[in-house]
Amino acid sequence: MTELRQRAVREPDAPPEDKESESEVKVDGETASDTESRAEAVPLSTSADDTPEVLNRALSNLSSRWKNWWVRGILTLAMIAFFFIIIYLGPMVLMIIVMCVQIKCFHEIITIGYNVYHSYDLPWFRTLSWYFLLCVNYFFYGETVTDYFFTLVQREEPLRILSKYHRFISFTLYLIGFCMFVLSLVKKHYRLQFYMFGWTHVTLLIVVTQSHLVIHNLFEGMIWFIVPISCVICNDIMAYMFGFFFGRTPLIKLSYVMSGYRCFVCPVEYNNDTNSFTVDCEPSDLFRLQEYNIPEVIRSVIGLTTVWMYPFQIHSIALSTFASLIGPFGGFFASGFKRAFKIKDFANTIPGHGGIMDRFDCQYLMATFVNVYIASFIRGPNPSKLIQQFLTLRPDQQLHIFNTLRSHLADKGMLTAGTEDE
pLDDT in tens, 179-204: 999 999 988 888 888 988 998 999 99
Q: What is the pLDDT of residue 237?
A: 65
Check whether 166 has a pLDDT greater than 90: yes
| Residues facing residue 307 across a β-bridge | 292
Report the predicted TM-score, pTM, of the whole model to 2 decimal places.
Answer: 0.75
pLDDT at residue 236, rounded to an integer: 67
Q: How confident is the model at residue 253 (pLDDT cuts 50, 70, 90)?
A: low
What sign results for the dihedral spanned by CA atoms 35, 36, 38, 42?
Answer: positive
111 Rama class: left (phi>0) / alpha (psi -120 to 50) / beta? alpha
Which spans in 305-382 are helix H? 311-325, 328-340, 356-373
pLDDT surpasses 90 at 176: yes
Say how far apart CA 262 and CA 279 lie, in whole Å.
7
Does 346 have pLDDT greater than 80? yes
Q: Is the pLDDT of residue 412 over 50?
A: yes
pLDDT value at 283 more than 60: yes
* Whether residue 65 has pLDDT greater than 70: no
pLDDT grade, residue 178 (50/70/90)? very high
CB atoms within 10 A of CB 183: 9
Picking from 291, 294, 314, 313, the residue whose alpha carbon sits closest to that of residue 304 is: 294
If one counts every other C-beta atom within 10 angstroms of the C-beta of residue 37, the result is: 11
Signed CA dihedral, 172, 173, 176, 177: sign only: negative
The whole-number pLDDT of residue 418 equals: 55
The pLDDT tens digits of the residues spanning 78-135 come to 888 888 898 888 888 888 999 999 999 999 988 888 887 765 677 788 889 999 999 9
In the predicted model, is pLDDT for residue 342 greater than 90?
no
Cβ–Cβ < 8 Å for 384, 269: yes
Lowest mean per-residue pLDDT among 15-19, 127-131, 278-282, 312-316: 15-19
The residue ranking higher by pLDDT, 48 or 130, is: 130
Give the mean model confidence (pLDDT) for residues 365-380: 88
What local confidence, expressed as pLDDT, does residue 22 receive? 42
pLDDT at residue 228 greater than cutoff 80: yes
Q: Which amino acid is at 70?
A: W
Residue 149 has pLDDT above 70, yes or no: yes
Counting runs of H as helices and runs of E as strands, what totals does the chain give? 22, 4
Residue 258 pLDDT grade (very low, low, confident, very high; cuts 50, 70, 90): confident
What pLDDT does residue 174 have?
Answer: 96
Give, as one character, the DSSP assignment of residue 284: -
Residue 325 identity (one-letter amino acid): L
